[in-house]
């Protein structure tokens, strides 16, 4: 689990998820958390290895989604500490938009997770104030299995 997480950092840590590139080679059935990545990002920022602009560059589409369908995380932005982080979920799969779809409600997300076709879900934390964004976790759902892993709240 630890090594898989680290192997995923390079690819998923960038904005590849925005392109809807489903990587079927990594058959992840459980939720993969990226809290480690976030901690290392923030540590790099604190030590001056990276600049605020490097991690506060959320795509306009992502910011729009955050404002429209972002869900409260009850957590302040770790970068600016001025705004609450919101979470946006992108779901990719067959017969879904190439750029993924953003469920507006928990019920919509559950419906997507129960599709007959497998789906890949990405939860992104966004600050609409300073534009910090971070891939919080990803998971697979849908498909043939009736008993599927359910996304749990991360970083609680």
Distance in Å, CB of 89 to Zn ion, minimum: 19
Q: Which is nearer to Zn ion, 32 or 66 (CB)?
A: 66
Show the site string, 7-46: x = touches Zn ion by CB under 5 A, - = not.
Answer: ----------------------------------------
Residue position matching structure tokens 């998923």: 12
Q: Does 66 bind Zn ion (CB under 5 A)?
A: no
Q: Does 80 bind Zn ion (CB under 5 A)?
A: yes
Contacting Zn ion (CB under 5 A), which of 12, 58, 77, 88?
A: 77
- Residues 31 and 139: beta-carbon distance below 8 Å: yes
Only segment of 3-11, 17-25, 71-79, 94-102 that touches Zn ion (CB under 5 A): 71-79
Residues 106-135 touching Zn ion, rule: CB under 5 A, are: 127, 129-130, 132
From the CB of residue 62, how many other CB atoms can be counted at a distance below 10 Å? Answer: 21
Distance, in Å, from the CA atom of 154 to the CA atom of 26, rounded to the nearest integer, reads 21
Q: How far is the CB of 134 from Zn ion (least distance, A)?
A: 11
In the complex, the smallest distance separating the C-beta of residue 56 from Zn ion, rounded to whole angstroms, is 7
Q: Which residues bind Zn ion (CB under 5 A)?
A: 77, 79-80, 127, 129-130, 132
């Amino acid at each position: 689990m630890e090594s898989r997480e680290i192997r995923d950092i390079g690819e998923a840590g960038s904005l590849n998820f925005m392109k809807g590139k489903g990587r079927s080679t990594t058959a992840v059935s459980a939720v993969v958390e990226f809290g480690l990545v976030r901690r290392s990002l923030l540590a790099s920022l604190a030590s001056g290895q990276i600049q605020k602009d490097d991690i506060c560059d959320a795509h306009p589409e992502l910011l729009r989604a955050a404002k429209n369908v972002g869900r409260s995380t009850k957590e302040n932005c770790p970068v600016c500490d001025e705004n609450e982080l919101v979470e946006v979920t992108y779901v990719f799969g067959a017969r879904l938009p190439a750029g993924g779809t953003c469920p507006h409600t928990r019920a919509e997300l559950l419906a997507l997770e129960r599709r007959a076709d497998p789906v890949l879900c990405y939860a992104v934390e966004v600050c609409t104030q300073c534009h910090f964004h971070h891939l919080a976790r990803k998971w697979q759902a849908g498909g043939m299995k009736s008993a599927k892993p359910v996304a749990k709240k991360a970083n609680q």
